[in-house]
Amino acid sequence: MGKCVEDFVVGEVGESPARTVTETDIVMYAWISGDSNPMHTDAEYAGRSPLGRRIAHGTLGMSIVTGLSARMGDFDGTAIAALGVEEWQFLAPIFIGDTVRLRTTVREARTTSKPDRGVVVRFMELVNQDNAVVQRGVMKTMAYTRSGLEERLPATGSPD
């Protein structure tokens, strides 16, 4: 089970497992998104660009962030909804073969006017194998409070 709002500590830093970005990731994302810009899909074209090779879509990086966040397990069974992404920056390209991991820092964790839920604000940094931050921004998530989660869990105990 993931964390409830009260379990998040402002300033707490977490880190995900790493994953390597593959050509298949980029090809599938181009198909799903409909973005077939040659910087992503054409090795000859991208080879003549200032970057010298194909890059992952910026929004693929954001999608990887959400997947790595899920792998951390912080919101397993406790998330209600994603509320938004703010101040997102694409700082450096992500290349085929880069290995990235997510570093999160809790900025805020508060209950809302509804006592069964709250909002967790985390600063997210996608970091590559060279320890360079390639993307960063703020993500907000609505999650259950402990009392809100308890209301939704089935009662435990042995039958009489």
Q: 5-151 has which CATH code?
A: 3.10.129.10
Q: Confidence class of residue 158 from pLDDT cuts 50, 70 and 90?
A: very low
For range 89-112, the mean pLDDT: 98
Domain extents in the chain: 5-151
Whether the model clears a pTM of 0.85, i.e. scores above it, the answer is yes
Per the CB < 8 A criterion, the answer to whether 145 and 5 are in contact is yes
Task: Give me the torsion for CA of 32, 36, 40, 42, rounded to 10°.
Answer: 130
Closest CA to 26 of 116, 113, 95: 95
Give every CB contact of residue 147 below 8 A, 6+ residues apart in sequence.
115, 116
Does the pLDDT at position 156 exceed 70?
Answer: no
Does the pLDDT at position 23 exceed 90?
Answer: yes
As a whole number, the mean pLDDT across the chain is: 95
Within 10 angstroms of residue 34's Cβ, the number of other Cβ atoms is 7
Per the CB < 8 A criterion, the answer to whether 112 and 5 are in contact is no
